[in-house]
Amino acid sequence: MSHSAKSNGAVSGATVSGAAVSGATVSGALDGLHRAVVVVGGGQAGLAMSWWLTRRGVDHVVLERTRVGEEWRERRWDTFCLVTPNWQCKLPGFPYDGEDPDGFMVRDEIVRYVEAYAKSFDVPLAEGVTAIRLRRRTEGFEVVTTAGVLTADHVVVATGPYQVPLKPRMSERIPDWVRQLHSADYRSPQALPEGAVLVVGSGQSGTQIAEDLHLAGRQVHLAVGSAPRVARFYRGRDVVAWLEDMGYYRRPIDEFADADAVRFRVNHYVTGRDGGRDIDLRALARDGMRLYGRLTAVSPSPSGATLSFGDDLARNLDAADAVSESIKDSIDQWIDKQGITAPAEPRYTPVWTPEGGHGTLDLAADGLTSVVWGTGFGRDYRWIDVPVFDGRGYPTHVRGETVCPGLYFLGLPWQHTWGSGRFCGVADDAEYLAARIAAARRRNLASVVHWLAGTPDETFPRDLYGSDVEWTAPRTVA
């Protein structure tokens, strides 16, 4: 790869680099600083936003909680790779131009790609700075950070959707002698204790981690949910390439009758490992992985605990297969409509069928020593004291533009299209918001957003933020 998204503590001595505040220290540069735009989050979304603002000559600063690429560097396992081909990496001004466009960058290559992007233009970047409060002023916004207080006419929240790892409360009933970790903390089979491993959740992370453990020779038990799957290749091409040609990644969410449901759907599972292949859970079961339905209960037992599962395994596998086959149907129709010559390919035939009924696991008797929770992530926007969230804690917006003039979100799944929040679509969303910001600056908008009830502190008391008060992050996606 010749070109050699997701974050928002304080780091002493962090610097602001780039054109805006070149070479200044955070403590000296940020406190009291005013910029037309403050971008919170220095992952791929925040950097894409900076690229378009720079191109338009809009003064701004990008705040990054840790350092560029940290989300990819520290919250991905050792064998992690992209599930979309490298050619879909289209950050603005920096498309992938390496030697393997049809391959799938592994974790360290992704980190280098994002780091190289940050060095490709003058990003006014402040690393090691956390935004801890955002509030509306009579004109513009006040951004309280670990390095001082900034003001801005506009704020773009680009902290990504995968903020808070979620585990169900039933995890608290699992004995202490079992190692428990979220998929965000999983690194490798060798980092886990010897013994069998239960993976809970069959989204992208859960299935890929289960396969990683299986390939390492570990006995894997997988609790399968309702996530759909997709084939890696079909009729001579990567399925992603067919879907790209068919316009799927550019289809706006407002064309869907069930837009809210679409926005929160779990992603299809597949892998780019070793050049890319299907993740066929039936084949993995045939080869020794043990599959179950959803985990429904953890009950104390003399040996530690017994885990109970639903009787939905067959239904979940059938539904995942049906989605994959329906995507193939769409590709077949596209090939016929466009008159494309493509090789025929036989359809998928199930290689394993589960027995019916509920399943159980006894932690001790079945030799389980670890549980990996692939149960998704939630959002933490408690630091934002602006009334732009719905009852689920999701920001209400149209293409990232909220009802509060000057406040925007970027990098959300299905923000506008299926490509939003991905390397392939975040550039378009960032360009759109940059244009909206430029237009708003010309109009010199100044507006006050009123709370429907109470005050910001009464809505979520500030003295509770960061305390021991029980709070659950609203779910993003699995």
Q: Which two tokens stand for residue 268?
A: 């299809």
Q: Which two tokens stand for residue 148?
A: 């001082």
- Distance in angstroms (rounded) separating the CA atoms of residues 430 and 51: 9
Whole-number percent of the chain with pLDDT over 70: 87
pLDDT of 357: 79
**What are 401-438's pLDDT values in tens digits?**
999 999 999 999 989 998 898 999 999 999 999 999 99
Amino acid at 3: H
Pick the range with the lowest mean pLDDT from 258-267, 303-312, 336-345. 258-267
Going across the sheet that includes 179-182, the strands are 179-182, 368-373, 196-200, 220-223, 290-292
pLDDT of 27: 39
Q: Which two tokens stand for residue 449?
A: 């957003």
Residues pairing with 17 in the sheet: 125
SS3 274: helix
Q: Are 473 and 379 in contact (CB under 8 A)?
A: yes
> pLDDT-based confidence at 14, cuts 50/70/90?
very low
- Residue with structure tokens 């923000």? 415
What are the structural domains of the chain?
15-163+379-464 (3.50.50.60), 165-373 (3.50.50.60)
pLDDT of 187: 98
Other CB atoms within 10 A of residue 299 CB: 11
SS3 123: coil
Average pLDDT over residues 9-18: 36
pLDDT of 61: 97
pTM of the model: 0.88
**What are 281-301's pLDDT values in tens digits?**
999 999 999 999 999 999 999
- Distance in angstroms (rounded) separating the CA atoms of residues 383 and 393: 12
First to last CA, the chain: 30
pLDDT of 17: 44
**What are 168-221's pLDDT values in tens digits?**
999 999 999 999 999 999 999 999 999 999 999 999 999 999 999 999 999 999
Average pLDDT over residues 66-89: 96
